[in-house]
C-alpha cells in the first residue's frame, strides 16, 4: 500500500520541482480605451483563443504584452476571471501605467505635428494602449517592484540618441524628456516555492518605421541594453539572486532589421542562459509577419542560477484545433521554459 501511494504521488512531486515561466505577446490591444474590457466580457473569438493558448500551456508565471492598461485594472481583472473559469487561476497580478500612449505635447517623431500616436512617450493612440501585465500563481511583492519606465533615454550609460546631421532628432527639447522605455521595463519580485526570483520584463520598440536617423533602431538597442546596465549595477537595483528576463524584444539575432549586436550580447551574457526553445516542428521562430517572414523576437532567458528542465515554442501541428486556436489568438507564439528551482 505504501508503495502504491508513493507511485501515485510521484507525478505531483515531479511537477513541484519545476516552475514554468512564459512570455506571450497576445496582441489583444484595441484601438480605444475600454474596448478590450468589452471584448473580454463578451468573450470575442480572439480573447477566447488567447485563453485557450494559456490553458493549453499552463504557465506558473506569465509575462503578457499587447494588453491595454486601464487605471482601475478592470481589463486585467476580467482576463484573470475568464482564465479562472477555464481552470487556470492567477491570484497575483501586476500591471502599471506604461509609456505607450503617454502624451508629451511635443513632436516626438519628427513629422512636424504633435498629439499623434508617435508623439507619446511610446507609440499609442491612448494612455495604456498595448501595455504589459504579469500574472502569477505565486505571490508578487508589489511593494518591491522596480519600475524603470521613467528613465530618460539620455541617462542610460552609453546611450546613443538619434541625430539628423549634427542636430538632435527630432529636437533637443524632445530628447530632454524622451523616456527610454517605449512600453515599460519592470523588475517584478515573485515568491516561488523555491525562494524569490526577479522577473525582468519589457516590450521593446520595433527597430523599423523610421528614417535614416534610425531613431527606433537605436531605441530598441538601448531598451535591450538596459538589462545589462541593471545587472551591472549602473541603473536601478541589481538582482541579488535568481532572475528571468522575459518579453518581446522585437529583434532577431540573425534576420531582419535592427542593431542585432544588442540581442546577441544579451544572449551571450555569462549571467544568463538561452534555452533556445523550439516548436514541435523544430523551428526557432516566435512570430511570422507577412512582410518579413519568420523571426525570433520573444525570449525567456533565465539566469545561471537555474537548471533548465525543458522549453518550447507553443505552435501545435497544422490542421489541429490547437493550431487554429493559436492562429486566432496572435501572430506571436507563446514561449515557455521549465526551470528547476535553485537549491
pLDDT digits (tens, 9 = 90+) for 307-343: 999 999 999 999 999 999 999 999 999 999 999 975 5
Q: Does a structural domain hold residue 1?
A: no
Tell me 57's DSSP state: H
Q: Percent of the chain scored above 70 by pLDDT?
A: 95
**232 domain-assigned:** yes
Predicted TM-score (pTM) of this structure? 0.93
Q: What pLDDT, on the 0 to 100 scale, is given for residue 15?
A: 45
Q: What angle do CA 119, 120, 121 make, to 5 degrees?
A: 120
User: Terminal CA-to-CA distance of the chain, rounded, Å?
Assistant: 31
Q: 7 in a domain, yes or no? A: no
Mean pLDDT of the chain: 94
Q: What is the mean pLDDT of residues 190-205?
A: 95
- Distance (Å, whole) CA 131 – CA 67: 5
pLDDT value, residue 283: 83
Say how many C-beta atoms besides its own lie within 10 A of residue 308's C-beta: 17
Cell of 92: 497575483
Of 273, 246, 266, the residue nearest 20 (C-alpha): 246
Structural domain includes residue 143:
yes
- Residue 92 predicted with pLDDT over 70: yes
- Side by side, the strands of the sheet bearing 298-302 are 146-147, 185-192, 195-203, 243-248, 298-302
pLDDT of 60 reads: 98
CA 3 to CA 331: how far, in whole Å?
47
Q: Is the pLDDT of residue 2 over 50?
A: no
Domain for residue 217, yes or no? yes
Asked whether residue 3 is assigned to any structural domain, the reply reads no
User: d(Cα 17, Cα 306) in Å, to the nearest integer?
Assistant: 12
Tell me the H-state helices in 66-205.
74-85, 172-177
> CA 83 to CA 234: how far, in whole Å?
39
The domain in which residue 184 lies consists of 19-340
pLDDT > 50? residue 240: yes
pLDDT digits (tens, 9 = 90+) for 130-166: 999 999 999 999 999 999 999 999 999 999 999 999 9
Question: How many folded domains does the chain comprise?
Answer: 1
Backbone φ/ψ region at 4: left (φ over 0), alpha (ψ -120 to 50), beta: alpha
**CATH at 321:** 3.60.10.10
pLDDT at 7 (0 to 100): 43
Would you say residue 239 lies in a domain? Answer: yes
| 14 assigned to some structural domain | no
Residue 89 or residue 11, greater confidence? 89
The rounded distance, in Å, linking the Cα atoms of 93 and 237 is 22
Q: How far apart are CA 311 and CA 279, in angstroms?
A: 9
Q: What is the structure's pLDDT at 341?
A: 72
Pairing, β 287-289 against β 195-203: unpaired
Amino acid at each position: 500500500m505504501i508503495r502504491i501511494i508513493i507511485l501515485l504521488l510521484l507525478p505531483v512531486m515531479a511537477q513541484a520541482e519545476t516552475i514554468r515561466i512564459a512570455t506571450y505577446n497576445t496582441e489583444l490591444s484595441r484601438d480605444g480605451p475600454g474596448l478590450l474590457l468589452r471584448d473580454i466580457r463578451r468573450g470575442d473569438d480572439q480573447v477566447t483563443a488567447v485563453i485557450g493558448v494559456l490553458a493549453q500551456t499552463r504557465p506558473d508565471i506569465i509575462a503578457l504584452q499587447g494588453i491595454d492598461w486601464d487605471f482601475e485594472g478592470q481589463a486585467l481583472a476580467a482576463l484573470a476571471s475568464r482564465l479562472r473559469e477555464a481552470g487556470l487561476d492567477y491570484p497575483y497580478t501586476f500591471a502599471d501605467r506604461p509609456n505607450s500612449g503617454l502624451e508629451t505635447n511635443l513632436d516626438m517623431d519628427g513629422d512636424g505635428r504633435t498629439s499623434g500616436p508617435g508623439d507619446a512617450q511610446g507609440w499609442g493612440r491612448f494612455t495604456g494602449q498595448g501595455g504589459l501585465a504579469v500574472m502569477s500563481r505565486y505571490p508578487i511583492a508589489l511593494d518591491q517592484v522596480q519600475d524603470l519606465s521613467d528613465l530618460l533615454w539620455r541617462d542610460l550609460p552609453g546611450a546613443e540618441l538619434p541625430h539628423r546631421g549634427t542636430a538632435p532628432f527630432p529636437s533637443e527639447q524632445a530628447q530632454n524628456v524622451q523616456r527610454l522605455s517605449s512600453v515599460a521595463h519592470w523588475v517584478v519580485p515573485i515568491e516561488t516555492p523555491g525562494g524569490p526570483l526577479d522577473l525582468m520584463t519589457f516590450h521593446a520598440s520595433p527597430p523599423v518605421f523610421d528614417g535614416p536617423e534610425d531613431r527606433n533602431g537605436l531605441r530598441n538597442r538601448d531598451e535591450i541594453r538596459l538589462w545589462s546596465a541593471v545587472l551591472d549595477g549602473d541603473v536601478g537595483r541589481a538582482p541579488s539572486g535568481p532572475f528571468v528576463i522575459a518579453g518581446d524584444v522585437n529583434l532577431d539575432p540573425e534576420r531582419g532589421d535592427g542593431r542585432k549586436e544588442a540581442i546577441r550580447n544579451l544572449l551571450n551574457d555569462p549571467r544568463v542562459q538561452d534555452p533556445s526553445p523550439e516548436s514541435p516542428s523544430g523551428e526557432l521562430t516566435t512570430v511570422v509577419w507577412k512582410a518579413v517572414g519568420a523571426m525570433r523576437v520573444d525570449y525567456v532567458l533565465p539566469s545561471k542560477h537555474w537548471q533548465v528542465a525543458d522549453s518550447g515554442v507553443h505552435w501545435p501541428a497544422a490542421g489541429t484545433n490547437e493550431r487554429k486556436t493559436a492562429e486566432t489568438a496572435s501572430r506571436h507564439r507563446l514561449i515557455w521554459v521549465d526551470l528547476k528551482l535553485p537549491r
